[in-house]
Amino acid sequence: MPGLTTRFKFAWSKNWRRLAALALGLLVSVPAAAVVVKHSGRGGVSHVMSCGRSGDSLFEADDWLSQKLVPSAQEEAWCDQNGKRVYDVRYRTDEFGRRVTPQTAEAAYDSFALFAGCSNTFGQGVNDDETLPARFAQHVAGRKIKVYNYGVPSWGPANFLALLTDPRFAPGIKERRGFLVYTFIDHHVDRAIGRLNWLRTTTVPCYQAAANGGLERCGLMDADHPPLHNYPLGEFNVRKKFTLKKLDWPAEIRAADIELTARMFEEACRAFKRQFESTGFFVLAYPNAGLHLQMKYYFMKDDCGVKVLDYSALYRGTPDRNSFEFPDGHPRPNAYQDLADRLYGELSNMGVF
């Protein structure tokens, strides 16, 4: 097989440390079922919550987006911890499958503010009027700016790019002029590249570098269909070994993974500008994010104009994180309010609206 030896040598020279660690993991078998891990939070408080839901099913599978919110649905959700109610809320979606954002009806909206991202944008654990987009909408009341919440729990940059290139997307927005804010956490890189531990829980749109320098769609990926372009010796079908041994891959986030994620945002930016008159395309780095700093390097080289709004240091060093986040790490209403206040001020000063 011509070239096989060359490819093997290249893969080994590039990944020898990771491959050696993986080989050791394949030789030493530890039964996962024999280990029970109890996660504890700060101060020894358990992070385990008992949660329930009632009402409509909020999610449905989608061949292009992987999953989306069900249109015109309503769901009650609650969580308890150590016998105490943590939250008891209601989620509603509109006719286009977006989390409802209550706003005072204007005679005619002439622009929009679009928020996208994962459960932090959707607003897991808070009511419709307590999400980041809803709190922001309170600031722009009277400005004729329609606010949309396109956050979906478990989504990442690949779902976001799929959304903006979906022909079903633009018809749901009547206004032709506006700006977009994507709320970013570091785990979104795992989701974008199809890191194996994430794929064991969900399905994600697959994108890879194309020969023309752009990105190309490579279907949907999950634990049984991982992105083999991200795996060493993919032609030997080593994914079975990764799956059997419950190993993660990549073992750590690499520069190429951050670049691929950045390019997804850049392609999404271009898709957004093809469909709307853009007044801004922003990646908002959530508190405790860090990988956005590397992505900024790629954004600076791109001509689409993706800008980073850096809130990563917010609340850093706060002794009682329970004051602004739930035990599972999702923001509380007061955190969304604080973030919306800061965001409104920054975008106003930038002349975005």
| pLDDT given for residue 248 in this prediction | 72
E-strand ranges in 118-248 read 145-151, 177-184, 204-209, 215-221
Q: Quote the CATH superfamily of domain 4-350.
A: SGNH hydrolase (3.40.50.1110)
Q: Is the pLDDT of residue 11 over 70?
A: no
CB neighbours of residue 310 within 10 Å: 15
Q: What are 178's strand-pairing partners? A: 112, 278
By the 10 Å C-beta count (0-12 exposed, 13-18 middle, 19+ buried), 132 is classed as buried
Helices 333-350/132-139 angle, 10° precision? 50
CA dist., res. 241 & res. 26, Å (int): 8
CA dist., res. 256 & res. 197, Å (int): 18
Residues in the chain: 353
Band the pLDDT of 246: cuts 50, 70, 90: low
CA dist., res. 153 & res. 187, Å (int): 13
Q: Which helix (H) or strand (E) holds 116?
A: strand 111-117
Mean of the per-residue pLDDT values of the chain: 84
| pLDDT given for residue 149 in this prediction | 98
CA dist., res. 226 & res. 196, Å (int): 7
- Domain map (residue ranges) of the chain: 4-350
pTM: 0.83
More confident site: 177 or 35: 177
Q: What single-letter DSSP state applies at residue 192?
A: H
Query: Do the beta carbons of residue 163 and residue 267 sit within 8 Å?
Result: no
| pLDDT given for residue 20 in this prediction | 38
13 three-state secondary structure = helix
| pLDDT given for residue 6 in this prediction | 34
- Quickly tell me which residue has 């020279």 as its tokens: 13
pLDDT for 183-226, tens place per residue? 999 999 999 999 888 888 899 999 999 988 889 999 999 877 77
What proportion of the chain, given as a percentage, has pLDDT over 70? 80
| pLDDT given for residue 316 in this prediction | 83
The DSSP secondary structure of 69-108, one letter per residue, reads EPTT-EEEEEEEETTEEEEEEEEEB-TTS-B----PPPS-
CA dist., res. 147 & res. 140, Å (int): 9
Which strand ranges, in their side-by-side order, compose the sheet holding 50-55? 50-55, 74-81, 84-92
Pairing assessment for the beta strands 59-62 and 66-69 based on DSSP bridges: antiparallel
Q: Is the pLDDT of residue 107 over 80?
A: no
Band the pLDDT of 71: cuts 50, 70, 90: very high
